[in-house]
Amino acid sequence: MSFGQGGPSWGPGGTGTPDWAALAEASAARARRKKWLMIGGGALATAAVAAIVATAVISTSKNGSGGTSGKNASELPSATALPSETAEPEPSFSSVAPLPPPDPKDYISDVKKDRAPVTVDAFFPGKKLTMGTRVYAKGATHSTTKCATTTKDALGSILTNNGCDQVIRATYSRSGVAVTIGLAVFETEARAKKAAQQASGSIAALSGSGVPAFCRPGSVCRRTSNSYGRYAYFAISGFTSGKSVTKADKNVFAVGDDLTNFTFRQIRHRGEVQASAAATAPTT
């Protein structure tokens, strides 16, 4: 029995043994054809998707130079619906830069600007002084244009040589420690600074009004000198008992620091008040 041309070689009329090599080659050929069909189909699908996306992009671009289509496009106002130029005046801005605020220090650095009264009460007001939780009783005060009479040793000539106009003194005390502040007034900042830098000797301690004499001859007291603007200020601190001050007496240092800090703040406040008044004064 024969299967005709192309039949298996091991059938009736064949050799009786399968041609395994031919079978393997035929199977591999079928596998290759299947693989290429799958790859071709995937490529066609990818090309189709790309064509759809490209068509959508082109369609969107045609909607108006990169505009959107569909619902979003209908929600945007048309060119004729956009607001045109308004008749309302446009805001204008000055081309002139505003002047900087006055510097408070300028008003306490030169007699020509520092026009506020120079008095004891202007710098040392009230009957007591509170610094944090520390309260100081105010003692005697004094003011004179004879600057040298308020000093001890070389400080008098230093004040005079630098053109001192006036000295105001005020004494404060607390817990057996007293401090006298001497505020020397000059025409310019340069003169006040020079007097403070040259300081030798001290301001004279001022007793009275509840404060006994302190820093008597022979006792050691703490002395300091500073300046701000056209004011130089000097302090002498010591025990009302007459005891000499040593570096271990931190309470004396603390009292002196409180009073010199207060004096500095009063001078600075004087400048702030005058600068504020100048800034708010009407221009002519």
Burial 44-81 (b: 16+ CB within 10 A, else e): eeeeeeeeeeeeeeeeeeeeeeeeeeeeeeeeeeeeee
Q: Which burial class, exposed, middle or buried, applies to 231 when counting CB atoms under 10 A from its CB (0-12, 13-18, 19+)?
A: buried
Strand partners, 151: 203
Tell me how many degrees the CA angle 111-112-118 measures, rounded to the nearest 5: 40
| Phi, then psi, of 76 in degrees rounded to 5 | -80, 145
Confidence class for position 129, pLDDT limits 50, 70, 90: very high
> Cα 128–131–132 angle (5° rounding)?
130
> Using an 8 Å Cβ cutoff, are 139 and 210 in contact?
yes
pLDDT band at residue 57, thresholds of 50, 70 and 90? very low
pLDDT in tens, 238-256: 999 999 999 999 999 999 9
Token digits of residue 109: 């650095």
Q: Give the pLDDT confidence score for residue 105 in this predicted structure.
A: 94
Q: Can you give the three-state secondary structure of 225-276, one letter per residue?
A: EEEECCEEEEEEEEECCCCCCCCCCHHHHHHHHHHHHHHHHHHHHHHHHHHH
How far is CA 245 from its chain centroid?
A: 41
pTM: 0.65
Gyration radius from the chain CA atoms:
50
| Better-scored residue on pLDDT, 214 or 19 | 214
* Spatial contact of 278 and 107, defined as CB atoms under 8 Å apart: yes
Q: What is the mean pLDDT of residues 164-188?
A: 97
Lowest mean pLDDT among 15-19, 76-80, 148-152: 15-19
Neighbours of 215 (CB within 10 A): 28
pLDDT over threshold 60, residue 17: no
How do residues 176-186 score in pLDDT, each as one tens digit? Answer: 999 999 999 99
